[in-house]
């Protein structure tokens, strides 16, 4: 990658280490991974960050419940998230832990910058706090629950807290935030989340408590270590820590900050789209360019929760169905941004219909015909007929169509467009019936098979971000060199397969899934 290539910095939320990773965590990171791979193949210098959120009362309590010192506990649970990243094939460039010295330094520097600009003052917090959400709530946001409890909109219980606390003057940021959203219409997506944030901010903002004194597990406030920083201020800072903050003159920081995209779940949009830009502006640091909030998964129609015992383990899914199959399903099944329901039935349907029958069968029948009828060599095309031109130009339009969908994080649209070209290629096979041409018009048969191999090359180049292993297998079988698989080379004028080149024996790429329980 040339140093002059445009930079692209994207992040996942950092995951709480109170628990083992589940499908929700896998999903956010998967979306980022696919985008990171797409942008790399599309000529960007990508920095893809993920990591773990290790401080705060929730993690401290989880460590205590496990009977372990917090540091020992977070070391172990953080490792599980690293292992998940490996199992899922994530291509992250960095993995940040908020207990690392580089991060503690960045948090304290950011605090000092905000304070030096006059936006932090000492006071006393008396109000509601939910440890599960690590969030403060106003009285009118809570509903009564069993036993006189107060319940937050997320369903988590809130407790009354009274303690000395530093405050951030969020109430003064309403107009500046509204102006920022107005000037940056793409800052929050999708539209529904943008509207939600706008109405929250228009409703008026209250100063935010940004330190706690009733427990210890966190980053000490500079010059007043009886206070530890509010875990969300600490956690959000990870995004600039990893860009090199406070070394704002560094090459990394200058290339990658402000981040191009923070990918988050819909539950944490307020922290990212309201608090975070306000903290940054208060410190004199540029806010990120975009926050995309995706929806939540349910499991066979039910909310996923530990107490219901229906948590979906992404590793078990991958073992059962295959990595690329899971990656494909999660991003194809649900319009990105909406909520979605996981079911084994839907998983099997998509994997059998769209991967095995459509994409897989296209690849397999074309490669086997070439193997059998062209002596395992890439056929030599003659002049193209209009049907050939039609299919080739549909595949040419696919790159810009997918690029456009990816720029809007519409992963399902990118895959839908890809599937349309697969469908058009399968129809072309049926119409041209190359198997019947061997005796009647062998030159035409070669042209048809060449056109198909060429379409498959393009389809496989473009499916790499979603299904890296399977796409590589297809490209290997076509004899495409590994340095000719990025979009610029693969779609350059004159790029194509080499007639006459020897091909390996074809092997299936997308197996049909037979349900052992059926
Ligand atoms: N630690 C904070 C984030 C700090 S970022 C500066 C946090 N962590 S989390 O582990 O609870 O959640 C991480 C992500 O997982 C969130 O984006 C959340 O939306 C996502 N999911 C958790 N459960 C989910 C589903 N059931 N479905 C889809 N995503 C969900 O929040």
Q: Which candidate, 112, 433, 51, places its Cα nearest to that of 236? A: 51
The answer on 289 and 157 residing in a single domain is yes
**Is position 123 within any domain?**
yes
The answer on 363 and 282 residing in a single domain is no
pLDDT confidence of residue 19:
80
DSSP 199-246: HHHHT----EE-EE-S---SPEETTEEEEEE-HHHHHHTHHHHTTTTT
pLDDT confidence of residue 256:
98
Is the pLDDT confidence value at 274 over 70? yes
Q: Residue 68, class by beta-carbon neighbours within 10 Å (0-12 exposed, 13-18 middle, 19+ buried)?
A: middle
> How far is the C-alpha of 381 from the C-alpha of 357, rounded, in Å?
27
Residue 419 CB-half CA count within 13 A: 19
Q: Tell me how far the alpha carbon of residue 96 lies from the centroid of ligand 1, in angstroms.
A: 16
Could you report the per-residue pLDDT of 152-206, keeping only the tens digit for each?
998 999 999 999 999 999 999 999 999 999 999 999 999 999 999 999 999 999 9
Q: Which amino acid residue places its CA nearest to atom 8 of ligand 1?
A: 15
**Is position 207 within any domain?**
yes
In 3-state terms the chain splits into helix, strand, coil percentages (rounded to 5) of 50, 15, 30
State the pLDDT confidence band at 448, using cuts at 50, 70 and 90.
very high
Is 16 close to ligand 1, i.e. is its CB under 6 Å away? Answer: yes
> How far is the C-alpha of 436 from the C-alpha of 433, rounded, in Å?
6
Scanning the structure block, which residue is given the tokens 């990025």? 486
Q: For residue 470, what are its two tokens?
A: 């399977």
Give the range of the structural domain holding residue 431, as residue numbers without chain letter: 344-490
- Boundary residue ending a domain (295, 326, 356): 295
pLDDT confidence of residue 18:
85
Q: Which amino acid residue places its CA nearest to atom 29 of ligand 1?
A: 24
Q: Tell me how far the alpha carbon of residue 81 lies from the centroid of ligand 1, in angstroms.
A: 13
**Is position 510 within any domain?**
no
**Is position 511 within any domain?**
no
Could you report the per-residue pLDDT of 336-383, keeping only the tens digit for each?
999 999 999 999 999 999 999 999 999 999 999 999 999 999 999 999
pLDDT confidence of residue 517:
67
Is 268 close to ligand 1, i.e. is its CB under 6 Å away? Answer: yes
**Is position 201 within any domain?**
yes
Q: Which amino acid residue places its CA nearest to atom 17 of ligand 1?
A: 265
Residue 193's domain is classified under what CATH number? 3.40.50.620
Q: Tell me how far the alpha carbon of residue 265 lies from the centroid of ligand 1, in angstroms.
A: 6
The answer on 387 and 269 residing in a single domain is no
State the pLDDT confidence band at 223, using cuts at 50, 70 and 90.
very high
Number of domains in the chain: 2
3-state class (DSSP) for residue 516 = coil
The answer on 358 and 284 residing in a single domain is no
**Is position 500 within any domain?**
no
The answer on 278 and 374 residing in a single domain is no
Q: Which DSSP state fits 125? A: E
Mean pLDDT value across the chain: 96
pLDDT confidence of residue 385:
97
The answer on 247 and 157 residing in a single domain is yes
Q: Tell me how far the alpha carbon of residue 10 lies from the centroid of ligand 1, in angstroms.
A: 16
Is 513 close to ligand 1, i.e. is its CB under 6 Å away? Answer: no
> How far is the C-alpha of 321 from the C-alpha of 344, rounded, in Å?
10
Scanning the structure block, which residue is given the tokens 């329980």? 517
Q: Which candidate, 269, 292, 141, 288, places its Cα nearest to that of 198? A: 269
**Is position 517 within any domain?**
no
Is the pLDDT confidence value at 490 over 90? yes
Q: Tell me how far the alpha carbon of residue 15 lies from the centroid of ligand 1, in angstroms.
A: 7
Specify the pTM.
0.96
pLDDT confidence of residue 434:
96
The answer on 170 and 82 residing in a single domain is yes
Question: To the nearest whole percent, how much of the chain has pLDDT over 90?
Answer: 93
**Is position 315 within any domain?**
no
Query: Distance of alpha carbon 443 from its chain centroid, rounded?
Result: 46
Tell me if 252 sits within 8 A of 243, measured CB to CB.
Answer: yes
Is the pLDDT confidence value at 287 over 90? yes
pLDDT confidence of residue 443:
97
Is the pLDDT confidence value at 1 over 80? no
Scanning the structure block, which residue is given the tokens 């393009």? 458
Q: Tell me how far the alpha carbon of residue 169 lies from the centroid of ligand 1, in angstroms.
A: 27
The answer on 227 and 116 residing in a single domain is yes
Residue 391's domain is classified under what CATH number? 1.10.730.10
Ligand 1, from 234, 265, 330: best to mutate by most atoms within 8 Å of Cβ?
265
pLDDT confidence of residue 518:
62
pLDDT confidence of residue 366:
98
Is the pLDDT confidence value at 115 over 90? yes
> How far is the C-alpha of 254 from the C-alpha of 219, rounded, in Å?
26
List residues bridging with 272 in a β-sheet: none
Is 264 close to ligand 1, i.e. is its CB under 6 Å away? Answer: yes
Tell me if 339 sits within 8 A of 297, measured CB to CB.
Answer: yes
């Amino acid at each position: 990658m040339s140093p002059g290539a445009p930079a692209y910095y994207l992040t996942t939320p950092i995951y709480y280490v109170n628990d083992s990773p589940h499908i929700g965590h896998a999903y956010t990171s998967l979306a980022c991974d696919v985008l990171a791979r797409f942008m790399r193949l599309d000529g960007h210098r990508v920095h893809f960050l993920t990591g773990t959120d290790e401080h705060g009362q929730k993690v401290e309590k989880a460590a205590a419940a496990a009977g372990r010192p917090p540091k020992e506990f977070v070391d172990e649970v953080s490792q599980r998230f690293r292992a998940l990243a490996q199992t899922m094939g994530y291509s992250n460039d960095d993995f940040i832990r908020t207990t690392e010295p580089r991060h503690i330094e960045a948090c304290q520097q950011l605090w000092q910058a905000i304070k030096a600009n006059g936006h932090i003052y000492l006071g006393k917090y008396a109000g509601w706090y939910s440890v599960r959400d690590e969030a403060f709530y106003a009285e009118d946001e809570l509903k009564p629950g069993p036993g006189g409890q107060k319940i937050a909109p997320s369903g988590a219980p809130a407790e009354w807290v009274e303690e000395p606390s530093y405050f951030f003057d969020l109430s003064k940021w309403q107009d500046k935030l509204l102006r920022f959203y107005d000037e940056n219409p793409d800052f929050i997506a999708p539209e529904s989340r943008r509207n939600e944030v706008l109405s929250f901010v228009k409703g008026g903002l209250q100063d935010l408590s940004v330190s706690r004194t009733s427990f210890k597990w966190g980053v000490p406030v500079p010059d007043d270590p009886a206070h530890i920083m509010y875990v969300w201020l600490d956690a959000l800072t990870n995004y600039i820590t990893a860009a090199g903050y406070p070394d704002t003159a560094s090459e990394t920081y200058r290339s990658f900050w402000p981040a191009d995209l923070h990918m988050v779940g819909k539950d944490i949009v307020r922290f990212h789209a309201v608090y975070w830009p306000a903290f940054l502006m208060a410190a004199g640091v540029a806010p990120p360019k975009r926050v995309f909030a995706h929806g939540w998964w349910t499991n066979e129609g039910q909310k996923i929760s530990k107490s219901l015992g229906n948590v979906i383990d992404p590793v078990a899914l991958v073992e059962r169905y295959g990595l690329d199959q899971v990656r494909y399903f999660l991003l194809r099944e649900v319009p990105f941004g909406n909520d979605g329901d996981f079911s084994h039935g839907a998983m099997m349907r998509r994997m059998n219909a769209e991967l095995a029958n459509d994409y897989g069968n296209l690849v397999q029948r074309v490669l086997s015909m070439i193997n059998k009828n062209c002596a395992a060599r890439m056929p030599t095309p003659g002049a193209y007929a209009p049907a050939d031109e039609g299919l080739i130009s549909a595949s040419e339009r696919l790159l810009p169509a997918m690029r456009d969908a990816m720029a809007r994080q519409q992963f399902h649209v990118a895959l839908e467009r890809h599937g349309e070209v697969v469908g058009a290629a399968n129809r072309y096979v049926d119409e041209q019936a190359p198997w019947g041409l061997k005796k009647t018009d062998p030159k035409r048969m070669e042209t048809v098979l060449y056109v198909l191999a060429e379409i498959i090359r393009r389809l496989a180049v473009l499916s790499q971000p979603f299904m890296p292993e399977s796409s590589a297998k297809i490209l290997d079988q076509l004899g495409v060199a590994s340095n000719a698989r990025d979009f610029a080379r693969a779609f350059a004028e004159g790029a194509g397969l080499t007639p006459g080149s020897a091909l390996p024996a074809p092997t299936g790429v997308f197996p049909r899934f037979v349900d052992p329980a059926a």
